[in-house]
């Protein structure tokens, strides 16, 4: 762990000023905290707010950036105006990231910052992430992946730094809840967001509500699936999801993945 700290510090210390694409998640928070630690001449955290990101996550990003002591800019974008995104093909993430990262780059450059970072880790490189292509095209650097930092290591390093995000559940944009090639609509995103917030309020931290028309498919951590069958919990979910607009609710017996 000490060597990983040293590797990251050495890599970041070579940069005089830079902007971090900041979501408030485990990876980008760790990267931002390490960037602050090396004390560059200018450091900026930039968050993009769209219909794909729950408002509670945006507020959390603002709170974390303040606690780290870094200047933070939040940019609003209507991602549903981008038809390449709304069509929801398997390249959706590429088009979405291309628009968002272009906006981040434009904002950073207008403030005199040309070096751009994002918190991709080594595990991400082995996943299906079309958005990584867009980040490379726009010149974003990925220092955590470059030094082969895994998600598990980033969590451990975050804990060492005292970051509250060290055990924060993994997040992904709300668009991932809609099956590919099904048109993304604001109404579907709102239903998913409300349903996941309901589950989180019931104590389920790591959740996904997959939207299949009017049917909701729940994913919670495998060890917690049995709790869903508790009569009181089951009724709250059933009643709550019906009010949100789901006609049917199913449980993925394999759990979150």
What pTM value is reported for the model? Answer: 0.94
DSSP string, 78-123: -GGG-HHHHTT-TTHHHHHHHHHHHHHHHHHHHTT---EEE---GG
Is residue 238 within 8 A of residue 249, CB to CB? The reply is yes
CA–CA gap between residue 124 and residue 257 (Å, rounded): 14
Q: What is the pLDDT along the chain (257 residues), one digit of tens a residue?
A: 888 889 999 999 999 899 999 999 999 999 999 999 998 899 999 999 999 999 999 999 999 999 999 999 999 999 999 999 999 999 999 999 999 999 999 999 999 999 999 999 999 998 888 999 999 999 999 999 999 999 999 999 999 999 999 999 998 999 999 999 999 999 999 999 999 999 999 999 999 999 999 999 999 999 999 999 999 999 999 999 999 999 999 999 999 98
Domains located in the chain, CATH noted:
2-167 (3.40.50.620), 185-251 (3.30.70)
What is the number of alpha carbons within 13 Å of residue 241 lying toward its C-beta? Answer: 25
Burial class (CB in 10 A: 0-12, 13-18, 19+), 255: middle
């Amino acid at each position: 762990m000490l060597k990983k700290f040293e590797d990251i510090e050495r890599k970041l210390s070579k940069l005089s000023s830079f902007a971090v694409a900041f979501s408030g998640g485990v990876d980008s928070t760790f990267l931002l905290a390490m960037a602050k630690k090396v004390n560059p001449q200018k450091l900026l955290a930039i968050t993009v707010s769209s219909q794909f990101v729950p408002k509670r996550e945006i507020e959390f990003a603002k709170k974390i950036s303040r606690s780290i002591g870094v200047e933070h800019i939040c940019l609003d974008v209507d991602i549903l105006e981008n038809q390449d995104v709304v069509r929801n093909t398997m390249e959706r993430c590429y088009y979405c990231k291309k628009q968002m990262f272009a906006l981040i780059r434009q904002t950073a450059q207008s403030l005199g910052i040309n070096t751009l970072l994002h918190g991709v880790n080594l595990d991400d490189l082995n996943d299906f992430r079309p958005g990584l292509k867009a980040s490379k095209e726009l010149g974003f650097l990925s220092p955590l992946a470059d030094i082969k930092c895994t998600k598990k290591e980033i969590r451990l390093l975050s804990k060492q730094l005292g970051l509250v995000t060290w055990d924060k559940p993994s997040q992904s944009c709300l668009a991932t809840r809609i099956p590919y090639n099904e048109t993304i609509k604001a109404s579907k995103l709102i239903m998913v967001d409300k349903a996941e917030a309901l589950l989180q309020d019931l104590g389920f931290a790591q959740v996904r509500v997959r939207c299949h028309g009017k049917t909701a498919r729940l994913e919670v951590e495998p060890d917690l699936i049995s709790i869903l069958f508790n009569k009181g919990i089951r009724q709250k979910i059933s009643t709550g999801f019906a009010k949100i607009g789901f006609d049917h609710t199913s449980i993925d017996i394999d759990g979150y993945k």
